[in-house]
Structure 1
Amino acid sequence: MSFRASAPLLIAAALLLAGCDRSSSPGFPNQTVTVGQGTSAPLTANFTGSWQITNVPAWITVTPLSGQGPMNVTVSVDRRAGTPLTADQPELSGTFEVTWQDVLRRSGTSTVQVRAAQFELTGRITDGQTASVQGADVAVQALRAQEPAETRGVIVKYRAGGAVTAQSARPEARAAATLRAQGVNVGSVRALDARTSVLRVGDVRAALAALKADPAVEYAVPNAVLHPQQTGPLVFPVSPTDQYAPLQWPFRVTGYQAVWKDMQAGAYTRPVTVAVLDSGVRFDHPDLAGGLWGPGEGALDVLAGNNGDSDGPDTDPTDPLVSGRVGGSHGTHVTGLIVARWGENQGSCEGCSTTGVVGASAGAPVKVLPVRVIDAYGDAEVADVVTGVRYAAGLPVTLDGVTYTNPHPAQVMNLSLGGGISAQDARPMCDAIAEARAAGTLVVVAGGNGYSTVPYYPAACTDAVAVGSVTLSDPGTLTHAKYSNRYAQIVLSAPGGSDSVTDAFNGALLNGARFPDSVFSTSWNYTKDQPSYEGMSGTSQASPQVAALAALLLSKGVTTNATDTLERLIATSRDLGPAGRDESYGFGVINAAAALNAPAVTGLRVVDDAARNLLPRVQGTGEFRAWLGDGTYRVIAGTDVNANGVFGEVGEPRAETAVTLGASQPSVRLPDLVVR
């Protein structure tokens, strides 16, 4: 029998396609409208004929949108709607099109580019232990080095029997009189005991010098501010700079900004193989270079017959192009979530991203072993899944008279496939998974997208780790995804997302429009036969995130086998829903930071008047720079203790201030944000 890898309604959303160049006619030339730091600018053109404006980005408004004769329109910008999640663009730029026809019945489409300058916000996050010395000379730096990080006046103690004038018999009065005589501003004054006083002063250094010059003073010291003891300096998150990384919200909400920082210490050294049993993979996708075991290294296509590549079982599990295929590559998408490379890649087509997305494993020595068990039409037979599972675990399999043995037996296996077949009919798959588990492989399986309580197999097999899906219900809150099946065998959950733009909470923009809460990864554009990136939603996307985290546990040496890896995943998961295990979430949502003992990271979020959380990158020194639209913002620095991607929530260490930016105040540097 055969069954679908996943529900078609939930597999794909927001396919990113490269746009076509549209040449303009000399009848209406391409133009640029520069708004600068204003909110609008005119677009005028002498023209005889009709024109219509289309494809206007969401952050740009053009009025009117059509007309006859000369063009005289107003272009307005809403910078808030156009500011990317990372707030890292000094200038917003977007284009719209003018379709026109002149009196000679010549027609064409021209492009208008709109440019709007952003406003600059800078500052630094600190724990208060290091004073800022920007702009100070060496002498001032030396003086600051001798001071506590923060003081609130001075404490002075007079000697016993010291001379006190009648008019200032109390020590706090004498201290205040001494300081005022030296020109030091004195605020509140209070006695600590008969000989000791505390005074709030405007100049701590001058106050200390004046008091120490008084022979009646036993000592004078700063009234230093003390804090709860910290385990060390603030740790700032690692935020990838790859083009589409801001769209990859699942990594933020499961603690990977802390995990990727942890990786920089070099503890992830053990090689791990993750077998991905899926539709095959595009080995020629530049963002997967170096992350795959290829043909001749263990990769295998187990399919026979009419499977899309018409060459039967072999060692090339490429996800093929077949006539009429227009969707993306499911196997390539799943694989990218685990091993998509960071930074520059060798883009292989004009207009393709040279950085793309990131995978969970970052620089860890994790590789994917592609095993093709789903054909080009989205179907997988039970027998082929059985063969693929046994092969991936290192057990020999024979196909068309040829015996294959995997040279890289997988420590972890991912199956983003399944169906609502009976437990009896699933026995061959369950037997194969039991064999794989006995061989030392942790088998992770998508729980199913059936909107039901029906157990899907092979996820419901006793030795499988069935994974349910969660999505966002606000920027930092996860909830059960309505399509994700609920049943007793669900073990863990991970972000599988949603393709609804209406209910999008991740805060990111794609091509100037709100990006849905789907899961963004590598894919393939079969229409153009070239690399692409795509958003998909489903338990197919949740399952590889569990597999990737299992691989990282083994790579760091936190765990050493399938049993303790699963125990660690469960023990560190974030319990949602009813207390304990339940049918929607299993034991809970994976928490990568907790599982891998990564340090809590401190970062920044800037909240606009629409309650959108922007996440500017923070340098290793704590310095930050954000490019924002005009308006008033809450600026919150804080430690993400619960690793949900929201810095400085209520109850977490934080510092908060407010700032207004606009043409009258285009650049602001904040005082240090002291997180404690």
Structure 2
Amino acid sequence: MPNLLPRLPGLLLLTALLAACNPTPTPSDALDARTVPLAQAASGSTSVPFAGQWRVTDRPDWLSVTPLSGQGNVTLTITADRAAATPLKANQSELSGQIKIEWTSGTGSVAKSGAALWTVTAQQFELGGRLVAPAQAQGQDAQSAASLRTQAPAGTARGVIVKYRSASLKPQGGASLSAAQLGQRTLEAARLKVLATSALGTQSAQLNVTNVDAALAALRADPQVEYAVPNAVLSAQAQPVVPSDQFAGLQWAYPLMGYGGVWRDMEAGGYTKPVTVAVVDTGVRFDHPDLKGQLWGPGEGALDVLPFTAGDAQTSPYDSGDGDGPDTDPTDPSIQGRTTGSHGTHVTGIIAARWGDNGVSCDGCSQTGVVGASYKANIKVLPIRVLDAQGNTSEADVISAVRYAAGLPVTLGTTTYRNPHPAQVINLSLGGDISADTARPMCDAIAEARSAGSLVIAAAGNGYGTSPYYPAACSAAVAVGSVTLSGGSAPQRSKFSNAYPEVQLSAPGGAEPYGGNRFNGGTLNGQPFPDVILSTDWDYMKNQPNYAAQVGTSQASPQVAALAALLLSKGVTTGPADTLARLVATATDLGAQGRDDQFGYGMVNAAAALNAPAVSSTLGLRLQSARGLTFQPAVDALGRFQAYLGDGTYRVIGGLDTDSNGIYGEAHEKRVEREVTLARATPRVDVGDLQPR
């Protein structure tokens, strides 16, 4: 204890020396370029001594920075959203982006200013694996499969194929024989007639026999036989139907939903049950040549429910535009100065535009135009006008339109109307951000329509957000979100498409306007065609038919309505409940596994829903994030793939594409799936072999 006191001054001296070795940095009067490595961290902080004012004036979208301005030392927290910067091919092991900081320091003659670029780097996580072709039945599995196949109708097999375990074949106590010779001897010993034989290799042979079942039994009893299977009869694979109409090649949404096989299926007949789809919209142009014969017209149930509102149709915020109030002519009217197209005509064409020659309608007009999903099916559209010339309506008018469409009586003014062709499917490409309480009367009407036998399909909204839009969010309606092409083997959600819990299904509605997406491969006038939805329309300036590109959930909703109608026309389903169940069960699940707010249960697949014949058989991979993003890593000749991705949960799906839509391993196709999570704790994941089954 006494010896400690003399040492205290020395201890204080040591502390002072340490302080002298680590002086406080002097703030700089200028900012220089620097690199901020995040490695695999989600975020990181950096601090630079500075005497002056500064602010962050530019940064890439995948980096967030706080704070954005300050005085004195530049202390920033930088957070990386790696997935937002990961390219489609997922082939960058490290991401890099620059933050621009503008600064000033000093005053008067010593004042300085400038800008510094700070480079932020972020290492990606790794996902690998191998895609393997579907297994072929062998050995005992082949025998089991063959037993099932021999129960098929006569003519599905032309004899049998036998493979022996060894190339050295000897009957008991005899000389060596070929596979064909030994097989023939075995069958003849069983008193079975062999019509012809041929070698298929050193250990295999084809034996033409009349009694396939007995031949298989005799051969499988030989312990030298590895397997014996029927020589199955195969047929040429069906070819997808490709419409020849002038602009059909730009209608990428139909191939994406597998319609090539569906239209081939229609050519065999069977879509004979009559179905009416009510399009509750702006009305329609009955004089559009591409819709001739596809509509219920005036006197056949078509209806305009809009009331007459006195005043100038150009200035009135709510006017029918045709000046005559409710009647049986829902023609989308031409009013002075109108420059917009016909929304209802566009929606109708998606469902029911004619195929083939429409005749000459005007100078320069296309004689063939576009096609609708319905093709040869017994489907007609019932136009009901509820949106006025400015695209507005009221909740009361929607209620009247929905009830009328479903076959329920409605009274407009002093006249009571009843639809002679009640619609099995009602499309509502309209809606708004209103409260659930305000929407109750409209939701009640949709529930009534559902009880009357109508399936109500509605656009989920183009609000770029998460607010429920009504009537889509009504419990008895089917809210439809929009997807578009991604450049990869799975579509992505359209940026404008609202995401909320009531969204049940998705369908192609196109890419964000002016977003520049051109993945569909089509060209128009020598230029790449954007990922938009092309359909019938009307040019009010020239007062003649035309074709126009539009995007939105308004275009996605009729895609679902058309498929629902086809299910009913073919007889796959019979009412609202089983039709919706079929749409859900066969949808292509996108984003997170199962239902999610972005896609609902997934994108509708016409080929799967309608049991269309296979029109392709390619093997491929799709990689989807739980956030709804899609990536397409390269697959080499051996099936191996390596993807560099951000942190998060991913679904890795390998499978066949049998409907020629470029999406592998959908609900009706051979598939295998792995779900993995990449994070700092698991920076590298190998999913192993992916063999579809």
**TM-score tier (shorter):** 0.5 to 0.7
Letter in 2 for 1:314: D
Shift of 1:435: 1.1
SS in 2 for 1:602: coil
Aligned to 1:521: 535
Letter in 2 for 1:555: S
CA distance in 2, matches of 1:404, 1:157: 84
After the TM superposition, list the runs of 4 or more consecutive aligned residues in structure 1 that deviate by more than 3 angstroms.
146-149, 155-163, 196-200, 224-233, 645-649
Give yes or no for the alignment of 1:371 onto 2:371.
no
Indicate conservation of the 8 Å contact 2:159/2:230, yes or no.
no
Aligned partner of 1:641 among 621, 645, 658: 658
Aligned partner of 1:419 among 402, 412, 432: 432
Shift of 1:399: 1.5
Shift of 1:265: 1.9
SS in 1 for 2:434: coil
CA distance in 2, matches of 1:414, 1:302: 16
Shift of 1:492: 0.7
Letter in 1 for 2:658: V
How does 1:465-476 map onto structure 2 within 5 Å? 465-474=478-487, 476=489
CA distance in 1, matches of 2:405, 2:466: 30
Letter in 2 for 1:519: I
Q: Cα deviations across residues 508-532 of structure 1 (Å, max 9, x unaligned)?
A: 1111111111111111111211111
Q: Cα deviations across residues 243-263 of structure 1 (Å, max 9, x unaligned)?
A: 111111111111111111111
Shift of 1:582: 1.1
Shift of 1:535: 0.9
Indicate conservation of the 8 Å contact 1:279/1:373, yes or no.
yes
Letter in 1 for 2:255: R
Give yes or no for the alignment of 1:535 onto 2:573.
no
Indicate conservation of the 8 Å contact 2:617/2:658, yes or no.
no
Indicate conservation of the 8 Å contact 1:287/1:345, yes or no.
yes
Indicate conservation of the 8 Å contact 1:447/1:459, yes or no.
yes
Indicate conservation of the 8 Å contact 1:601/1:639, yes or no.
no
Aligned to 2:690: none
Give yes or no for the alignment of 1:280 onto 2:283.
yes
SS in 1 for 2:330: coil
Aligned to 2:637: none
Aligned to 1:350: 363
Aligned to 1:386: 399
Give yes or no for the alignment of 1:509 onto 2:523.
yes
SS in 2 for 1:474: coil
Aligned CA distance change for structure 1 residues 156 and 272 (closer, same or farther; 3 Å): same
Aligned CA distance change for structure 1 residues 383 and 234 (closer, same or farther; 3 Å): same
CA distance in 2, matches of 1:529, 1:479: 37
Question: Which gives a bigger RCO, structure 1 or 2 (Cα 8 Å, sep 6+)?
Answer: 1
Q: Cα deviations across residues 125-169 of structure 1 (Å, max 9, x unaligned)?
A: xxxxxxxxxxxxxxxxxxxxx9999x9xxx896899999xxxxxx
Shift of 1:347: 2.9
How does 1:221-620 map onto structure 2 within 5 Å? 232-303=235-306, 304-305=308-309, 306-474=319-487, 476-498=489-511, 499-500=513-514, 502-602=516-616
Shift of 1:390: 0.9
Shift of 1:640: 2.8
CA distance in 2, matches of 1:415, 1:228: 53
Aligned CA distance change for structure 1 residues 227 and 147 (closer, same or farther; 3 Å): closer
Indicate conservation of the 8 Å contact 1:603/1:647, yes or no.
no
Letter in 2 for 1:286: P
SS in 1 for 2:457: strand
CA distance in 2, matches of 1:231, 1:250: 31
SS in 1 for 2:658: coil
CA distance in 1, matches of 2:351, 2:423: 14
Aligned CA distance change for structure 1 residues 231 and 564 (closer, same or farther; 3 Å): farther
CA distance in 1, matches of 2:376, 2:262: 11
Q: Cα deviations across residues 182-222 of structure 1 (Å, max 9, x unaligned)?
A: xxxxxxxxxxxxxx99669xxxxxxxxxxxxxxxxxxxxxx
Aligned CA distance change for structure 1 residues 198 and 489 (closer, same or farther; 3 Å): closer
Indicate conservation of the 8 Å contact 1:352/1:531, yes or no.
yes
How does 1:61-100 map onto structure 2 within 5 Å? none
Indicate conservation of the 8 Å contact 1:156/1:198, yes or no.
no
CA distance in 2, matches of 1:432, 1:330: 23
SS in 1 for 2:486: strand
Aligned CA distance change for structure 1 residues 230 and 564 (closer, same or farther; 3 Å): farther
Shift of 1:369: 0.2
SS in 2 for 1:252: helix
Structure (1 or 2) with the larger CA radius of gyration: 2
SS in 2 for 1:470: strand
CA distance in 2, matches of 1:546, 1:445: 9
Letter in 2 for 1:240: P
Q: Cα deviations across residues 591-637 of structure 1 (Å, max 9, x unaligned)?
A: 111111112212899xxxxxx9xxxxxxxxxxxxxxxxxxxxxxxxx
SS in 2 for 1:523: strand
Aligned CA distance change for structure 1 residues 566 and 156 (closer, same or farther; 3 Å): same
Letter in 2 for 1:640: D
Letter in 2 for 1:295: P
Aligned CA distance change for structure 1 residues 158 and 427 (closer, same or farther; 3 Å): closer
CA distance in 2, matches of 1:148, 1:374: 66
Letter in 1 for 2:384: V
CA distance in 1, matches of 2:517, 2:495: 13
CA RMSD between the two structures: 4.2
CA distance in 2, matches of 1:549, 1:525: 28
How does 1:63-142 map onto structure 2 within 5 Å? none
Aligned CA distance change for structure 1 residues 148 and 313 (closer, same or farther; 3 Å): same
Aligned CA distance change for structure 1 residues 280 and 225 (closer, same or farther; 3 Å): farther
How does 1:143-222 map onto structure 2 within 5 Å? none
Q: TM-score, with normalisation over the residues of structure 1?
A: 0.59
Shift of 1:642: 6.0
CA distance in 2, matches of 1:554, 1:381: 31
CA distance in 2, matches of 1:367, 1:574: 27
Letter in 1 for 2:615: V
Indicate conservation of the 8 Å contact 2:589/2:603, yes or no.
yes
Shift of 1:317: 0.5
Shift of 1:233: 3.7
SS in 1 for 2:495: coil
Q: Cα deviations across residues 62-101 of structure 1 (Å, max 9, x unaligned)?
A: xxxxxxxxxxxxxxxxxxxxxxxxxxxxxxxxxxxxxxxx
Indicate conservation of the 8 Å contact 2:616/2:659, yes or no.
no
SS in 2 for 1:524: strand
CA distance in 1, matches of 2:486, 2:230: 36
CA distance in 1, matches of 2:583, 2:461: 20
SS in 2 for 1:473: coil
Q: TM-score, with normalisation over the residues of structure 2?
A: 0.57
CA distance in 2, matches of 1:228, 1:492: 43
Indicate conservation of the 8 Å contact 2:489/2:664, yes or no.
no
Shift of 1:434: 1.1
Letter in 1 for 2:408: L
CA distance in 2, matches of 1:428, 1:161: 90
